[in-house]
Amino acid sequence: MGTKKYFAAIALIISAAVLTACKPVDETPPQQIYYIEASERFYIAEGIMEEPEETSETTSVPETVTETETETVTEITETESETESETESKTVTETETTTETETTTETEAETTVEETCEAVTETITETVVETVTEAVTEPAPTLYESDSSAGDGLVKVMGRTYCKDGVRILSHTCSGVEFAFRGTSADITLTSNCKNSKARAAIYVNGELFKDTMLTEEEETFHVFDSEESANCIISVVKLSESAYSYIGVKNIHVVSEYGIIPTPERSRKIEFIGDSITCGYGIDAADQYEDFSTTNENGMKTYAAIVGKHFKADYNIVSWSGVGVYSSYTESNNPNQTTLMPNLYGKTDASNRPNEEWDFSQWQPDVVVINLGTNDNTWTKGIEERVDKFGAAYYDFIVQVREANPNAYIICSLGVMGSKLLPEIKEQVKLYSANTGDYRITTFEFDYRDGVNDGFGADYHPSAKTHKKMAEKLIPFISEIMGW
């Protein structure tokens, strides 16, 4: 290889290394963390969130890297020139003496240049490797502490909730908040009105259950996340117990992070479940049917509704109340129990704590609405035709109410896990409604009757967790077929 070509090749190698080492550091860290799945965790979306005032200072690559390597190349070039000049002078002088001496001198000169090149190449390689290694080392991100309210738009809201004095109130089953951040620490402050039946809360970190607790104090703070190094994190706070009892308030979210907290995104699919104690998860964590009901054994996250929502990667909303009916709630009397009925509850934000506040249905429109009502009505109808007719008329009106609130949803009218005696009447009312209105985006669905012998019972003979799983397994393909999911 000719000397000039050899050094040209070396120069190209050095240039490439220098360019790599001096590539500008991205001064804009990931700006948004989104939730997909517990198994997939996160993806990054650029340009979603503006940088806060307090941002980390990025350290640029030292200019000395380029200067050092430039000086090295200059020295090499000068050495090459000097060597070539000396060789040429010596060769000219010896040429005047004899041709043999000229040949010998040229050979020695080439050998000297090649040895020099090898030595220089080794030195350059070591210098470049050390410099590049130094250059790619990034400084640790700047972290700062922040306190956020769950009412200021920095969290994703799940279910029907509202704000009271800056506190996000969770009343309904599986209502909650969810947010993401990148940092090292997180604390959540929860409040409760602490009625006789306390609220049961769950805190999830990156899709895994971190805390399952009964709120026995008016205010409690939970330390929920710790990491030695800054890491992506998603936290969800979910109410496990039902609306009829104590609420949960998300008062403050304290994080040590790079950019504060941000809401996880809405999902493309949305399902609403309307029901009674079954949909609430009444007694689902009880040892057996003989254990008394308490909010300590009520768990909405184990219900068929939550399982179906999770399967379809959907946001889901639960409006349910133990003992509730359409025409008559649970009763042991010959008179209908109309103290609390779902048609009256459905239009409210929080019937327990804000009975006069109407829910704004435009806030959240589902793709599918699953109605699971009639079990408690049957404690009064008892197969008596006149009573069944009254139930049917009330059910028809409720269909109209649900359709007006959710004009684009597919409505599924279900029953069966604790008895399906009123399902024939429900089917008749659905047919009548479609015939009268021309609305055929509605159907009926029958759950299998619970198998307590093999699957166990929850409190007061309610469905067990195993039964709820079977309910979901039957409902999932039904929804898939009608929705094409």
CATH (domain of 334): 3.40.50.1110
Given 238, 263, 288, the domain boundary residue is 263
* Within-domain flag for 49: no
Q: Per-residue confidence at 458, pLDDT binned at 50, 70, 90?
A: very high
Could you say which DSSP state residue 455 is in? H
Do both 275 and 164 map to the same domain? no
> Given the structure tokens 């240049």, which residue do they identify?
113
Give the pLDDT of residue 402: 98
State the DSSP H helix or E strand holding residue 172, giving kind and residue range, or none if neither. none
* Within-domain flag for 34: no
Do both 312 and 251 map to the same domain? no
Q: Identify which has the larger pLDDT, 85 or 326.
A: 326
Do both 364 and 431 map to the same domain? yes
Do both 279 and 299 map to the same domain? yes
**Which stretch of 20-24, 199-203, 264-268 has the lowest confidence by average pLDDT?**
20-24
Q: Is 181 helix (H, G, I), strand (E, B) or coil?
A: strand
Percentage of the residues of the chain whose pLDDT score is greater than 90: 69
Do both 66 and 149 map to the same domain? no
* Within-domain flag for 150: yes
> Rounded to an integer, what distance in angstroms lies between the CA atom of residue 273 and that of residue 316?
8
* Within-domain flag for 33: no
Strands 442-446, 410-415: pairing is parallel
Those residues with Cβ within 8 angstroms of residue 132's Cβ, 6 or more apart along the chain or in another chain: 17, 20, 21
Whether residue 137 is predicted with pLDDT greater than 80 in this model: the reply is no
**Which stretch of 14-28, 58-72, 249-263, 406-420 has the lowest confidence by average pLDDT?**
14-28
Give the pLDDT of residue 96: 42
Give the pLDDT of residue 99: 42
| Cα-only R_g, the chain | 36
Residue-wise pLDDT tens digits, 111-134: 444 554 455 445 444 544 454 444
Do both 94 and 168 map to the same domain? no
Do both 222 and 73 map to the same domain? no
Give the pLDDT of residue 93: 40
Give the pLDDT of residue 131: 47
Do both 132 and 155 map to the same domain? no
Give the pLDDT of residue 70: 40
Q: 329 with 341: CB under 8 angstroms? A: yes
Whether residue 165 is predicted with pLDDT greater than 70 in this model: the reply is yes
Given 139, 166, 192, the domain boundary residue is 139
**Which stretch of 90-94, 149-153, 339-343 has the lowest confidence by average pLDDT?**
90-94
Bridge partner residues of 252 (DSSP): 189
Whether residue 106 is predicted with pLDDT greater than 90 in this model: the reply is no
Alpha-carbon distances of 201 from 59, 206, 216, 224, 332, rounded to whole Å:
43, 16, 11, 13, 32
Give the pLDDT of residue 136: 54
> Rounded to an integer, what distance in angstroms lies between the CA atom of residue 163 and that of residue 39?
32
Percentage of the residues of the chain whose pLDDT score is greater than 70: 72
Q: How many independent structural domains does the chain possess?
A: 3
The span from the first CA to the last CA of the chain, in angstroms, equals 66
Mean pLDDT of the chain: 81
Whether residue 420 is predicted with pLDDT greater than 80 in this model: the reply is yes
- Look up the domain containing 452 and give its range: 270-483
Mean pLDDT of the 29-43 span: 40
What is the pTM for the complete model shown?
0.75
Given 100, 119, 139, the domain boundary residue is 139
Whether residue 474 is predicted with pLDDT greater than 90 in this model: the reply is yes
Cα dihedral 113, 117, 120, 121, rounded to 10, equals 180
Q: Per-residue confidence at 141, pLDDT binned at 50, 70, 90?
A: confident
Strands 208-215, 315-320: pairing is unpaired
Please report the sign of the dihedral spanned by the C-alpha atoms of residue 190, residue 193, residue 195, residue 199. negative
Q: Would you give the distance in Å from CA 109 to the centre of its chain?
A: 70
DSSP-derived secondary structure for 45-110 = -TTSSPPPSS-PPPPPPPTHHHHHHHHHHHHHHHHHHHHHHHHHHHHHHHHHH-HHHHHHHHHHHH
* Within-domain flag for 471: yes
Residue-wise pLDDT tens digits, 273-306: 999 999 999 999 999 999 999 999 999 999 999 9
Give the pLDDT of residue 66: 39
Q: Is 427 helix (H, G, I), strand (E, B) or coil?
A: helix
Do both 392 and 451 map to the same domain? yes
Do both 284 and 220 map to the same domain? no
Do both 249 and 133 map to the same domain? no
Q: Per-residue confidence at 151, pLDDT binned at 50, 70, 90?
A: confident
Do both 103 and 239 map to the same domain? no
Name the burial class of residue 339, with classes exposed (0-12), middle (13-18) and buried (19+) by CB atoms within 10 angstroms of its CB: exposed
* Within-domain flag for 42: no
* Within-domain flag for 45: no
Name the burial class of residue 83, with classes exposed (0-12), middle (13-18) and buried (19+) by CB atoms within 10 angstroms of its CB: middle
Give the pLDDT of residue 43: 36
Residue-wise pLDDT tens digits, 350-391: 999 999 999 999 999 999 999 999 999 999 999 999 999 999
Q: What is the CATH number of the domain that holds 217?
A: 2.60.120.260
* Within-domain flag for 123: yes
